Amino acid sequence: MRVEVEQPKCVASGQCVLAAPDVFDQDDEGIVEMLTDRPGADRYEDVKEAAALCPAAAIRLVSE
Amino acid sequence: MAEISTVTPSEHLEHPDYPMPRAAGCPFDPPPALLTLQEQKPLARVRIWDGTSPWLVTRYDHMRALLGDARLSADTTNPGYPYRNAAGRAGDQIRRTFLTMDDPEHARLRRMVTAPFAIKNVEALRWSVQTIVDGLIDRLLDGPRPVDLVEAFATPVPSLVICELLGVPYDDHDFFQRNTRVIVRRTSTPEEVVAAQNALVDYLDDLLGDKQARPGEDLLSTLAGQRVDAGQMTRREAAQMGVLLLSAGHETTANMIALGTVALLRHPDQLALLRDTDDPKVVAAAVEELLRYLTIAHSGRRRVALEDIEIDGEVIRAGDGVILAGEAANRDPRVFPDPDRLDVTRDARQHVAFGFGVHQCLGQPLARVELQVVYSTLYSRIRTLELAVDEDQLDYKHDGLVYGVYELPVTW
């Protein structure tokens, strides 16, 4: 699974960082940054949660 | 603006009045009529104060879908916007902040103030919040009993924190708390709301002038120095944004602290789980559940459709107002099993107490830290905390923009 983020959509809610802090980070203005776009399988649940919690639908999971 | 209703008078008879009353003796539960609509007519039309009939959305999945839909506008200047009351209309028409703008204007302005609310920046404030909370509890313990927890603790916590973050002198808190209360009170007249709004903007405008001359390390100095001086916004716009940030955190977090305390005192088993844990994850989960269970923003998120939107067999027409009732969505049994039960151990993170979509509360990371610190400290330091009056004497804010109690006399 690959993770994509759309920074222009991000509203800096920080939900993704709280759900999966080893996959998502924020820049100085709180905008989402990815630490890895291919998280391990053991991180899938948290990444799915991050995508579900994102209020701006800025996170997308792509199956490969 | 002309008051337009898109339905005929005879159809009004079928439309229940909104807002609806809570059931007597159930201060934490949403109005029963909201939950009946959720089951029987989740996309319903209701009649509001000005005689118009906006849509009322009560189901969780509809609320998330619609709040994430750019065809619904938060811009109060669009015809058909369902104002809360005449005072809300007067206030919204002079208040120009990102709260009532759509993208891209909304995103441009919001991004100017997101930095302090990034998770790591808020986490860096946790110690400072803890110091504020501990200091206020020290004063409670040294002071007289009974005491009003709203005035002596619940209100000063978020006020001291946001003042520190913005660089606003806390000594002026009587002034801005009084004016904030006028803005959120449902019974205020339009004139009172406009006067309060203008007084706050004038105050922030002066303060921004001081910050331009003598900048500090705070958010208002950053706005004054990096945004106003660079011509990205006028000082008046920065002042309006300052008012939004100063007032938004006050009534909300303060009411979560006070009403959360009432709810926990009525659920001693849940209170014990919070009081007796050292685990930050347990505390964080409890905060999410209390946010869900109480959903203090109980006046509905307000929007207006810019285009026709088809949802679940209904069509919301362009120009129709839409009210999204988060307090009902957060009790939707399709998402939260046994939703009326306060269970601090459940996973409630997907609640919509902060809204959803691009307008989701900017201050939510800060609110979370404040509530986590308060709930993990207050009840463990004052283990015998209890109400100093009978429960039925508490005066709930049925008339407020934000739900809570006016006073909370407690002793220990």
3-state secondary structure of B384: coil
For chain B, say whether A61 makes contact (Cβ under 8 Å). no
Nearest CB among A11, A14, A49 relative to B119 is that of A14
**Stretch B326-334: mean pLDDT:** 98
Tell the residue number behind the tokens 């998120």, with chain if given.
B301
Residues B368-394: b if buried by 16+ CB within 10 A, e if exposed = bbbbbbbbbbbbebbeebebeeeeeeb
Nearest CB among B114, B118, B357 relative to A55 is that of B357
B361-390 per-position pLDDT tens digit: 999 999 999 999 999 999 999 999 999 999
Q: Higher model confidence: residue B155 or residue B7? A: B155
- Can you name the residues that pair with B168 across neighbouring β-strands? none
Whether residue B358 and residue A56 make contact (CB cut-off 8 A), yes or no, is yes
Give whole-number Cα distances, B375 to A64, B96, B390, in Å. Answer: 43, 35, 22
Whether residue A8 and residue B107 make contact (CB cut-off 8 A), yes or no, is yes
Whether B8 has a pLDDT exceeding 50, the answer reads no
What ipTM was estimated for this complex? Answer: 0.95
Angle between helices B235-265 and B156-166 (to 10 degrees): 150
When pLDDT is cut at 50, 70 and 90, the band that residue B5 belongs to is very low
Whether residue A57 and residue B68 make contact (CB cut-off 8 A), yes or no, is yes
Six-digit token string for B73:
């506008």
B110-B114-B119 Cα angle (round to 5) = 150
Which residues in A lie closer than 8 A to residue B121 (C-beta atoms)? 30
B189-202 per-position pLDDT tens digit: 989 989 999 999 99
B29-51 per-position pLDDT tens digit: 999 999 999 999 999 999 999 99
Q: How high is the pLDDT of residue B367?
A: 97
Spatial CA neighbour of B189 closest among B85, B333, B309: B85
Q: How many CB pairs under 8 A join A and B?
A: 62
Q: How high is the pLDDT of residue B88?
A: 82
Which residues in B lie closer than 8 A to residue A52 (C-beta atoms)? 350
Which residues in B lie closer than 8 A to residue A19 (C-beta atoms)? 349
Cis peptide bond prior to B146, omega within 30° of 0:
yes
B66-119 per-position pLDDT tens digit: 999 999 999 999 999 999 988 888 887 777 789 999 999 999 999 999 999 999
Whether A50 has a pLDDT exceeding 80, the answer reads yes
When pLDDT is cut at 50, 70 and 90, the band that residue B180 belongs to is confident
Q: How high is the pLDDT of residue B401?
A: 84
Q: How high is the pLDDT of residue B368?
A: 97
- Can you name the residues that pair with B411 across neighbouring β-strands? B386
Span between the terminal Cα atoms of chain B, in Å = 54
For chain B, say whether A35 makes contact (Cβ under 8 Å). no
3-state secondary structure of B225: helix
Whether B185 has a pLDDT exceeding 90, the answer reads no
Which residues in A lie closer than 8 A to residue B355 (C-beta atoms)? 55
Of B20-24, B39-43, B92-96, B245-249, which range is least confident?
B92-96
Q: For testing the chain A interface, which of B60, B119, B232 should be mutated: the one with the most A CBs within 10 Å?
A: B119
* Non-local CB neighbours of A56 within 8 Å, separated by 6+ positions: A9, A10, A11, A13, B68, B357, B358, B360
Q: How high is the pLDDT of residue B352?
A: 98
Of A60-64, B50-54, B209-213, B350-354, which range is least confident?
A60-64
Q: For testing the chain B interface, which of A18, A24, A26, A32 should be mutated: the one with the most B CBs within 10 Å?
A: A26
Whether B10 has a pLDDT exceeding 90, the answer reads no
Which residues in B lie closer than 8 A to residue A59 (C-beta atoms)? none
CA torsion B27-B31-B32-B33 (nearest 10°) is: 170
B250, B156 contact by CB (below 8 A): no
Which residues in B lie closer than 8 A to residue A13 (C-beta atoms)? 354, 360, 364-365
Nearest CB among B68, B119, B355 relative to A18 is that of B119
**Stretch B329-352: mean pLDDT:** 98
**Stretch B232-249: mean pLDDT:** 89
Write down the pTM of the prediction.
0.94
Which residues in B lie closer than 8 A to residue A14 (C-beta atoms)? 117-119, 122, 364-365
Q: How high is the pLDDT of residue B391?
A: 92
Whether residue B357 and residue A52 make contact (CB cut-off 8 A), yes or no, is no
Query: What residue in A sits closest to B115 (Cα-Cα)?
Result: A29
Q: Spell out which chain B residues touch chain A, with contact meaning CB-CB distance below 8 angstroms.
A: 67-68, 107, 110-111, 114-115, 117-122, 349-350, 354-360, 362, 364-365
Six-digit token string for B68:
């994430």
Q: How high is the pLDDT of residue B13?
A: 53
Whether B305 has a pLDDT exceeding 50, the answer reads yes
Q: How high is the pLDDT of residue B184?
A: 77
Whether residue A55 and residue B110 make contact (CB cut-off 8 A), yes or no, is no
Whether residue A13 and residue B356 make contact (CB cut-off 8 A), yes or no, is no
Q: Higher model confidence: residue B65 or residue B97? A: B65
Mean pLDDT of chain B: 93
**Stretch B212-219: mean pLDDT:** 92
Which residues in B lie closer than 8 A to residue A18 (C-beta atoms)? 119
In whole angstroms, what is the distance from residue B245 CA to residue B373 CA?
A: 21
B237-B240-B244 Cα angle (round to 5) = 140
Whether B332 has a pLDDT exceeding 90, the answer reads yes
**Stretch A31-53: mean pLDDT:** 95
Whether B61 has a pLDDT exceeding 90, the answer reads yes
Sign of CA dihedral B75, B191, B194, B21: negative
Whether residue A49 and residue B356 make contact (CB cut-off 8 A), yes or no, is no
